[in-house]
Amino acid sequence: MRGLDGTVAIVAGATPGNIGAATAVRLAEEDATVVVADLDESAAQAVVAEIRELDGRAAAQSFDISDEASYKALVDFTVKEFGRVDGLFNVAVDPSAGTGVNDLDVISGPLDLWRHTIDVTLTGCMYGIRHALPVMIKQGGGAIVNTVSTSAWTGADRDLAYQAANSGLCRLARHTATLGGKHGVRCNSVAAGVILTRAALANTTEEWRTEILTSVASPRLGIPEDIAAMVAFLFSEDAAYVNGQTIHVDGGADFT
């Protein structure tokens, strides 16, 4: 894969066993310097320790994706320490999002939950782009990737806030791609299907996973490394002509 040696990437949302951690490790394996950020700084430190065991370059930072000042401080830290920001991966989520717990329908869903879900899942990513994009434009290039859920394309009678936020992320990516494209900045989305993160394995049954597998055109369900590989590609020079796209990494569950 071309184009990651010497680059600096932020992974916004990484704890061991999740998509962000797998992506941080993959980017480091491709010779990028990685700033690993999470609300839980000890979790970010654990990911950095794993990267350093592989002789990779990484630094850990604590940040709150729902707080603009916190996200700005993360971008500022990266520029101060490493001189640039070549990649931004928005992957931090509210762990309760999309579970159907309290996120009901447009009639009965609590408004505070709606606001919280939009703040974390959509507005938080906007904060990152808002502060990383000018840096990338000034330096003459960069790549941004947002993680979205395939629930943005499905209809359901619950999880309204989560689905609305993910739909908004796709529009945010296209706006960013249009705004940054002529300056060499690309922005794409990765639509993740069922991914067996550590949390997913802990909170689902074997019976449920077997049932879900029947809906996937693949012999297995996804793992965090599947998303990590796509993000690494989208950050690389091999994806230099890919901009404003949403790429499904879901084993063929959705052919939208």
pLDDT tens, position by position, 42-78: 999 999 999 999 999 999 999 999 999 999 999 999 9
DSSP alpha helix (H) spans, 91-223: 111-118, 124-139, 160-180, 198-203, 206-213
Q: Could you give the CA distance from residue 86 to residue 133 in angstroms, rounded to a whole number?
A: 10
Q: Could you give the CA distance from residue 10 to residue 29 in angstroms, rounded to a whole number?
A: 15
Task: Give the range among 13-17, 111-115, 150-154 with minimum mean pLDDT.
Answer: 150-154
Residue with tokens 């490394």: 225
pLDDT of residue 1: 65
Quote the mean pLDDT of the chain.
92
Q: Which residues make Cβ contacts (< 8 Å) with residue 35, sequence separation at least 6?
A: 8, 9, 10, 11, 58, 59, 60, 61, 74, 77, 78, 81, 82
pLDDT of residue 132: 98
On whether the CB atoms of residues 160 and 118 are closer than 8 A, the answer is no
Catalytic residues: 162
Percent of the chain beyond pLDDT 90?
A: 78
How wide is the angle at C-alpha 24 spanned by C-alphas 94 and 49, nearest 5°? 100
pLDDT of residue 10: 98
Residue with tokens 């992506």: 23
pLDDT digits (tens, 9 = 90+) for 139-197: 999 999 999 987 767 767 778 888 899 999 999 999 999 999 999 999 999 999 899 99
Query: Where do the domains of the chain lie, and which CATH numbers do they carry?
Result: 8-249 (3.40.50.720)
107 pLDDT higher than 90: no
pLDDT of residue 98: 47
Q: Is the pTM of this model over 0.85?
A: yes
pLDDT of residue 256: 60
Neighbours of 232 (CB within 10 A): 24
